[in-house]
Structure 1
Amino acid sequence: MQTYHQMKQGERGAMISITVYLVLSIIKLLVSGWSGSSALFADGLNNATDVLSSVAVLVGLKIARKPPDHNHHYGHYRAELIASLVASFIMVTVGVQVLISATQTLLNGTYSEPSALAFWTALLSGAVMYLTYLFNHNLAKKINSSGLKAASLDNRSDSFISFAAAIGILASTFGMPILDPLLAAFVGVIIIVTAFSIFKTTSHTLTDGFDRDTVMTVKDAVSRADGVLGIRDIRGRKLANQSILDMIIYVDPTLTVKDAHDITDRIEIMLKHRFGIQHVTIHVEPSVIEEDKPPKQTKAPQEQAAPEQD
């Protein structure tokens, strides 16, 4: 499981995102209002709502590091996933709004030519957001945090959005003002796609979804373990970023309880070292050997009918 220190590090990443988003959103909204850039306005609005999603991730991380209690025997780790789900809802709402606004501008044909300040604002913003993405992405991998990983993906999409806005603004200054609202629409689409990706991954984990390929790989490894004669009902689920497995194995029925327990210990150690799975529940059942199987029932030969008497 994630340690207290790791989750504290995750909170630091979320705080950095909040600070960056807050500063950039204020700057972009002010500059877009002065320069009339639709793409920069959409980018600034996106960053403003990213503040809310980053706050949701921060709250989720704070709740996730609470110790287990009488109502939460496994801890509060899924709060981090719920925070990611909330962040995806906020993102898709903003993406739809940005897309509608850009479409209305395109239909009305009210294009404006942004200033050079809008271009430099978008360009520098993209660079800052990409540096934020690199920091949070590396930190998320280090502490194995799904919430911070979702936030880092949002950082990356925001950096691409800002670079795209800069390209649209630059093109507008060269006599192609239609590219500014077109890039704003592109911003909306990227926001929606990113939100859907986060929602899909998070909801799969929250509904106890588990990768089938991982189950089959683990099943193959366990079946090769010494003393295992068969496997039945291997199941997996996620608790935060940790995999939890339940399985039934068959062993020689003549083994002692201690010998069967030693087999499960070896399996647990193997799964921890090879797959990083630290939580395994193994139920042991005796394998049915040939001499224990009941004999097959054969049909009795039909009695010959007695000859008819005259």
Structure 2
Amino acid sequence: MELYTNLRAGEKGAYLSIVTYIVLSIFKLTAGYLGNSEALRADGLNNTTDIIASVAVLIGLRISQRPPDDDHRYGHFRAETIASLIASFIMIYVGIEVLISAVKSMTNPVEVTPDILTIFVALISAVIMFGVYKYNYNLAERIKSTAVKAAAFDNRSDAFVSIGTAVGIVAAIIGFPIIDTITAFIIGIIIIKTAIDIFKEAVYLLTDGFDSKFLAKIRADIERMPQVREITEIRGRQHGGMMLIDITISVNPNLNVRRSHDISNKIEQHIQSLNSEAVTFVHIEPYDPKEMVISEDDYHF
């Protein structure tokens, strides 16, 4: 199944993020302490939590690849969404820690000028993280993975954070050391904001939120099929990378089973042409018991 192949491909993005964050966190924390930059230390601390978040995404992708069993008839695809949720909690915790540290530094300032080397560390980190973001975002779009996309947005946030860190360090070097601490505070806010966005997306999917415009498109297309007398109900929900669509339609009650089945197949094939990972369940009901005549439209496909 293509969906399982996509999940395995998504692991590459998770591994890339993990390795990059390990290297950058060591690089930033070391340079931050040796170069006396609180903003760079905060950025490095942020990357250490990104390691944990990326590991959570990787575990979620691994669990999602498990085949259906007696307790999970639809498979384990939502594990990657749960992984995104866990990652958001970790990020919120770290963001709060960074804010607390920054506030303490503001109330008890220490006049220390960061080393100029810390500027280059921040800028190099920004370039690397933007490259990782582009890779993971394109990968997420190709394999339709919410977890990898959440990781990509985290990567982009980290790139912007590193740019902000460089700006704060420059300001501190030219005579405004408080800017370095203020930048650390802003970094904490950015971390929390990114975490909240990931949290909202994960909760939306876990509570069966679905694109109403896509459902409206499906409804409009089916209503144009002459064999369909009425659409009684149409629902959708996301199950990891898989899209589940439930449709109840009414047809001529005098059609035989084969013709009714053909109508169902036509609807399923059309929806799959709109989204290759869509799995559609069509329930057929009789439209009107009084309708006795079968028209040519009922047989025309």
Instruction: Give the TM-score normalised by the residue count of structure 1.
Output: 0.89
What is the aligned-residue identity percentage? 45
Shift of 1:123: 0.8
Show the counterpart of 2:230: 230
Show the counterpart of 1:123: 123
Whether contact under 8 Å (1:2, 1:144) holds in the other structure is no
Does 2:94 correspond to 1:97?
no
Shift of 1:15: 1.1
Give runs of aligned pairs for residues 154-233 of structure 1, distance below 5 A: 154-233=154-233
Counterpart CA distance in 2 for 1:162 and 1:49 is: 15
**Deviation per CA, 1:6-51, whole angstroms, max 9, x where unpaired?**
2222112111111111111111111111122111010000001111
Decide which moves more: 104-113 or 150-159: 104-113
Task: Report SS of the residue matched to 2:249.
Answer: strand
- 1:277–1:225 Cα change, 3 Å: farther
Give runs of aligned pairs for residues 12-51 of structure 1, distance below 5 A: 12-51=12-51
Counterpart residue identity of residue 70, structure 1: D
Shift of 1:252: 1.6
Decide which moves more: 112-121 or 99-108: 99-108
Shift of 1:113: 1.5
Whether contact under 8 Å (1:88, 1:199) holds in the other structure is yes
- 1:227–1:188 Cα change, 3 Å: same
Shift of 1:108: 2.6
Counterpart residue identity of residue 31, structure 1: A
Aligned residues: 292
Counterpart CA distance in 1 for 2:3 and 2:210 is: 23
Decide which moves more: 101-110 or 279-288: 101-110
Show the counterpart of 2:296: none
Instruction: Give the TM-score normalised by the residue count of structure 2.
Output: 0.92
Show the counterpart of 1:246: 246
**Deviation per CA, 1:94-126, whole angstroms, max 9, x where unpaired?**
111111211222233334211101111111111
Task: Report SS of the residue matched to 1:244.
Answer: strand
Counterpart CA distance in 1 for 2:145 and 2:92 is: 22
- 1:218–1:4 Cα change, 3 Å: closer
Q: Over aligned residues, Cα RMSD in angstroms? A: 1.7
Counterpart residue identity of residue 237, structure 2: R
Q: Which has the larger radius of gyration?
A: 1
Unmatched 5+ stretches in structure 1: 293-310
Counterpart CA distance in 2 for 1:291 and 1:27 is: 76
Shift of 1:254: 2.4
Unmatched 5+ stretches in structure 2: 293-301
Shift of 1:209: 1.6
Whether contact under 8 Å (1:157, 1:191) holds in the other structure is yes
Counterpart CA distance in 1 for 2:64 and 2:274 is: 27
Does 2:236 correspond to 1:261?
no
Whether contact under 8 Å (2:126, 2:158) holds in the other structure is yes
Counterpart residue identity of residue 94, structure 1: V
Counterpart CA distance in 2 for 1:144 and 1:43 is: 29
**Deviation per CA, 1:210-246, whole angstroms, max 9, x where unpaired?**
1222222211211111211111121111111221111
Does 2:137 correspond to 1:134?
no
Whether contact under 8 Å (2:253, 2:291) holds in the other structure is no
Decide which moves more: 277-286 or 128-137: 277-286
Task: Report SS of the residue matched to 2:228.
Answer: coil
Task: Report SS of the residue matched to 2:132.
Answer: helix
Counterpart CA distance in 2 for 1:2 and 1:153 is: 24
Counterpart CA distance in 1 for 2:206 and 2:218 is: 22
Whether contact under 8 Å (1:226, 1:263) holds in the other structure is no
**Deviation per CA, 1:148-192, whole angstroms, max 9, x where unpaired?**
111111111001101110011011111121211111111111111
Does 2:71 correspond to 1:64?
no
Task: Report SS of the residue matched to 1:89.
Answer: helix
Whether contact under 8 Å (1:112, 1:177) holds in the other structure is yes
Whether contact under 8 Å (2:172, 2:180) holds in the other structure is yes
